[in-house]
């Protein structure tokens, strides 16, 4: 320690360095206003990283205090330390320091919703047993007062062994400064005393701890007793022997699940506290419920749900279209400009058709994704999504799932990647996997360009009564996706994922106006995760597909093109010359593609797709689409020699006239219908596959999903083509 004499460090610096390492977990019930408080405290000083070795994002931020800074870690909302869903288990694992490489938090900021003290105190009581320094923020105090709930902070504090409680008014931000001051003092706060709700459990835990030196922390002993299946329970068992623990559990819990006994004891304590600390029991008619009460009745609520969903879809598709067109145009213009600057060749093609087109193909999804996320976050924060799950539970039960699968399924109409990540709220792993495998069937935004092209080209623009035939076919494709997804869930729940009926116990939050800052921060956060997860995959795939379509280059074709161009320049002028140059260049591009790796692969694989009525060109486009289905239209544009950025109309004409060597048309009605069905059911998206792998922690399910969806897509297309051709 001789360096101390040699180096001068200002005292304030030492303070900051020490404090910056202190990490405070922000924890509370779902919908307790936890995220809003987190955002108010940290502002935009937030980061989203990963917990080492876990597939879940770590959401943390820095709170600037008068002369120090603390790290706040935002955790998913929970009701107890039991952890039913993946989301809840993560929160519990972080709290209890069970994630390797992530130490236990140094303190807790517990968010208590004044209108839901009942469930809030239940969690708080369990958290007190962790014996970490703790500060309680009480949110929604204004709402509580308005609905006639009168809470005595002093009495409550006395019952909680003196833990500091800070009432907050979210709308005005009152109380925030006092809370910050308390956070500043958090590590000098005394560890909370343990509430005596279940003396037998406390005594048993103390005894077990006394029996072994160097044993588990107290909270771990309690959790190990309550959760015999957990890892910690195994450690406890090694220390004490299974016979002894069996006997202890038998004595404590009888033949009932431990958590049930726990709930009885702890809620007994909660009710006792509330009797003294809460003057008036919360009125059953909840805040704001009176005038809008009828909207919660079964039929109005269900109709409202469908109306809101119709609005969301309308918005996702109509608001996003101009933005998407702008991005598309921007990418094309940029590629054109860059193409002019660079000498023709591999580098120019790589930059324009590879990099710029690749970035464009990622960005093009952003408008729809952002609008969808915005709606989902607003609906989530206003309490509407929980209602939706409640209302749709009965329908989802028919395929063996629960209402909680509804939200991921709805998200997957824009993109399956966020949908699969949204399945983390589903408690049962089997139900979660069934939902993950059903989600990619829904018609996502990447399928639409292919649908639009083929429908416009081959479905007559007839009116059938009030409906338009093209519209009906599109509707049919959406239904096909829904049917495919639900049937898949149904089948899986009856075979590989057979298990007990899914549970559906959900807290239903009341309708609340979402906080704008929270919504925007969440939107930014989810967009960033989407760009990172899906964006990188889509971009890399775009580059690979470009490489396969570009290499190898045939010099012969280029030489021939040059001589043809020289020839027409002497014979033609003006408009006909430009057209002819364009035609020659497109033909050369098509010839190059034909002998590229992609073209060769198309020819190689053609026999496989021949029974579906596809020639090598369609086969090559489909192969190019396997990693990312959105590239298909561009590949078809090149392969049919109309240029990549050609008007859809000219590609339509080409497709209609495409023929087999014997002159019969390739794109017949059965072939097109089969191709559409193939697109509806096939898993042609590397980003989705990567996400399934992450979320299921292995290759088993992504491989299954890909094989299964490709098989039924193929068989479906085969049947439609073969049967249709017989007619």
Minimum distance between the CB of residue 470 and other proteins, rounded to whole angstroms?
A: 33
Counting contacts by CB under 8 A, is residue 301 touching other proteins? yes
Handedness of CA 491, 495, 497, 499 (dihedral sign): positive
Minimum distance between the CB of residue 280 and other proteins, rounded to whole angstroms?
A: 11
Buried b (16+ CB within 10 A) or exposed e, 353-363: bbbbbbbbbbb
Counting contacts by CB under 8 A, is residue 398 touching other proteins? no
CA 533 to the chain's CA centroid: 10
Counting contacts by CB under 8 A, is residue 400 touching other proteins? no
Q: Contacting other proteins (CB under 8 A), which of 17, 264, 567, 656?
A: 264
User: Of 154-162, 293-301, 649-657, 703-711, which part binds other proteins (CB under 8 A)?
Assistant: 293-301
State how far the alpha carbon of 628 is from the alpha carbons of 543, 597, 635, 683, in Å: 11, 17, 12, 9
16's enclosing H/E stretch is: helix 11-20
Handedness of CA 515, 386, 109, 160 (dihedral sign): positive
Contact (Cβ atoms closer than 8 angstroms) between residue 67 and residue 152 = no
Counting contacts by CB under 8 A, is residue 227 touching other proteins? no
- Unique residue bearing structure tokens 């579906």: 612
Q: How far apart (Å, rounded) are the C-alpha atoms in residues 262 and 249?
A: 12
Counting contacts by CB under 8 A, is residue 282 touching other proteins? yes
* Strands 107-113 vs 23-28: parallel, antiparallel or unpaired: parallel
109-128 residues in contact with other proteins (CB under 8 A) are 115-119, 122
Counting contacts by CB under 8 A, is residue 405 touching other proteins? no
Q: Contacting other proteins (CB under 8 A), which of 45, 98, 240, 286?
A: 286
421-440 residues in contact with other proteins (CB under 8 A) are 427
State how far the alpha carbon of 622 is from the alpha carbons of 435, 456, 626, 630, 683, in Å: 26, 19, 6, 10, 12
165-204 residues in contact with other proteins (CB under 8 A) are none
Q: Contacting other proteins (CB under 8 A), which of 37, 61, 75, 84?
A: 84
**Beta carbon nearer to other proteins, 501 or 532:** 501
Counting contacts by CB under 8 A, is residue 725 touching other proteins? no
User: How many CB atoms are closer than 10 A to CB 591?
Assistant: 18
Q: Contacting other proteins (CB under 8 A), which of 1, 6, 297, 555?
A: 297
User: How many CB atoms are closer than 10 A to CB 677?
Assistant: 25
Counting contacts by CB under 8 A, is residue 229 touching other proteins? no
Q: How far apart (Å, rounded) are the C-alpha atoms in residues 346 and 352?
A: 10
Minimum distance between the CB of residue 406 and other proteins, rounded to whole angstroms?
A: 12
Counting contacts by CB under 8 A, is residue 403 touching other proteins? yes
Counting contacts by CB under 8 A, is residue 511 touching other proteins? no
**Beta carbon nearer to other proteins, 268 or 665:** 268
Counting contacts by CB under 8 A, is residue 316 touching other proteins? no
Minimum distance between the CB of residue 197 and other proteins, rounded to whole angstroms?
A: 12
Q: Contacting other proteins (CB under 8 A), which of 198, 390, 616, 626?
A: 390
> Rounded to the nearest 5°, which phi and psi values hold at 82?
-75, -45
Q: What is the 3-state secondary structure (H, E, C) of 628-686?
A: EHHHHHHHHHHHCCCCCCCCHHHHHHHHHHCECCCCCECCCHHHHHHHHHHHHHCCCEH
Counting contacts by CB under 8 A, is residue 12 touching other proteins? no
662-721 residues in contact with other proteins (CB under 8 A) are none
**Beta carbon nearer to other proteins, 15 or 499:** 499
Which tokens sit at 509?
Answer: 């939050």
Q: Contacting other proteins (CB under 8 A), which of 203, 242, 503, 697?
A: 503
**Beta carbon nearer to other proteins, 215 or 228:** 228
Minimum distance between the CB of residue 425 and other proteins, rounded to whole angstroms?
A: 13
User: How many CB atoms are closer than 10 A to CB 217?
Assistant: 15
By the criterion CB under 8 A, which residues form the site for other proteins? 79-80, 82, 84, 115-119, 122, 149, 255-257, 259-261, 263-264, 267-268, 271, 274, 281-284, 286, 296-299, 301-302, 386, 389-394, 403, 427, 500-501, 503-510
């Amino acid at each position: 320690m001789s360096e101390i004499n040699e180096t001068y460090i200002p005292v304030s610096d030492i303070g900051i360095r020490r404090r910056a390492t202190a990490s405070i977990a922000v924890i509370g019930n779902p919908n307790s206003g936890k995220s809003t408080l987190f955002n108010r405290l940290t502002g935009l000083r937030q980061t989203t990283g990963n917990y080492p070795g876990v597939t879940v994002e770590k959401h943390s931020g820095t709170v600037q205090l008068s002369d120090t800074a603390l790290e706040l870690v935002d955790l998913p909302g929970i009701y107890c330390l039991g952890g039913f869903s993946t989301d809840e288990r993560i929160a519990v694992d972080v709290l209890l320091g069970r994630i390797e490489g992530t130490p236990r938090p140094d303190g807790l900021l517990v968010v208590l919703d004044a209108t839901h003290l009942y469930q809030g105190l239940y969690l708080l009581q369990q958290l007190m047993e962790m014996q970490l320094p703790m500060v309680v923020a009480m949110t929604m105090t204004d709402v509580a007062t308005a609905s006639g709930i009168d809470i005595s902070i002093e009495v409550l504090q006395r019952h909680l062994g003196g833990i500091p409680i800070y009432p907050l008014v979210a709308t005005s931000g009152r109380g925030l400064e006092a809370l910050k001051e308390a956070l500043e003092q958090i590590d000098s706060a005394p560890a909370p005393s343990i509430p005596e709700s279940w003396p037998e459990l406390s005594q048993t835990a103390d005894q077990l701890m006394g029996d072994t030196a160097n044993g588990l922390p107290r909270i771990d002993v309690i959790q190990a007793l309550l959760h015999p299946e957990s890892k910690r329970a195994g450690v406890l068992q090694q220390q004490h022997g299974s016979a002894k623990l069996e006997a202890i559990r038998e004595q404590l819990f009888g033949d009932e699940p431990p958590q049930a006994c726990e709930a009885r004891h702890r809620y007994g304590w909660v009710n006792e506290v509330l009797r003294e600390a809460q003057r008036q029991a919360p009125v059953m008619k909840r805040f704001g419920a009176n005038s809008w009460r009828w909207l919660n009745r079964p039929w109005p609520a269900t109709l409202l749900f469908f109306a809101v969903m119709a609005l969301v879809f309308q918005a996702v598709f109509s608001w996003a279209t101009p933005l998407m067109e702008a991005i598309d145009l921007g990418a094309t213009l940029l590629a054109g400009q860059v193409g002019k600057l660079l000498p023709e060749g591999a580098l120019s093609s790589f930059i324009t058709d590879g990099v710029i087109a690749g970035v464009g193909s990622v960005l093009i999804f952003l408008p729809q994704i952002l609008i969808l996320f915005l709606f989902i976050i607003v609906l989530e924060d206003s309490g509407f999504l929980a209602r939706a799950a409640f209302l749709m539970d009965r329908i989802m039960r028919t395929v063996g799932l629960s209402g909680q699968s509804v939200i991921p399924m709805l998200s997957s109409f824009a993109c399956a990647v966020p949908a699969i990540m949204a399945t983390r709220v589903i408690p049962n792993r089997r139900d979660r996997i069934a939902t993950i495998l059903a989600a990619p069937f829904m018609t996502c935004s990447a399928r639409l360009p292919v649908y639009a092209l083929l429908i416009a080209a081959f479905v007559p623009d007839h009116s059938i009564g009030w409906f338009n035939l093209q519209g009906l076919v599109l509707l049919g494709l959406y239904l096909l996706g829904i049917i495919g997804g639900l049937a898949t869930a149904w089948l899986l729940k009856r075979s590989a994922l057979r298990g007990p009926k899914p549970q559906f116990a959900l807290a239903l939050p009341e309708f609340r106006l979402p906080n704008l800052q929270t919504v925007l921060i969440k939107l930014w956060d989810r967009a960033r995760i989407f760009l990172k997860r899906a964006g990188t995959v889509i971009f890399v795939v775009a580059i690979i597909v470009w490489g396969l379509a570009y290499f190898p280059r045939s010099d012969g074709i280029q030489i021939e093109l040059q001589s043809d161009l020289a020839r027409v320049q002497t014979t033609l002028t003006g408009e006909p010359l430009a057209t002819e140059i364009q035609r020659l260049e497109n033909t050369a591009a098509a010839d190059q593609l034909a002998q590229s790796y992609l073209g060769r692969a198309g020819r190689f694989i053609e026999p496989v797709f021949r029974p579906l009525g596809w020639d090598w060109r369609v086969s090559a486009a489909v192969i190019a689409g396997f990693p990312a289905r959105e590239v298909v239209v561009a590949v078809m544009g090149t392969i049919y020699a109309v240029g990549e950025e050609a008007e859809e109309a000219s590609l339509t004409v080409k497709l209609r006239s495409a023929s087999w060597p014997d002159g019969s048309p390739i794109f017949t009605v059965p072939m097109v219908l089969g191709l559409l069905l193939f697109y509806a059911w096939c898993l042609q998206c590397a980003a989705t596959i990567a996400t399934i792998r992450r979320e299921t922690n292995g290759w088993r399910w992504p491989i299954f999903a890909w094989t299964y969806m490709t098989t039924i897509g193929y068989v479906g297309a085969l049947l439609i083509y073969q049967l249709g051709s017989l007619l």
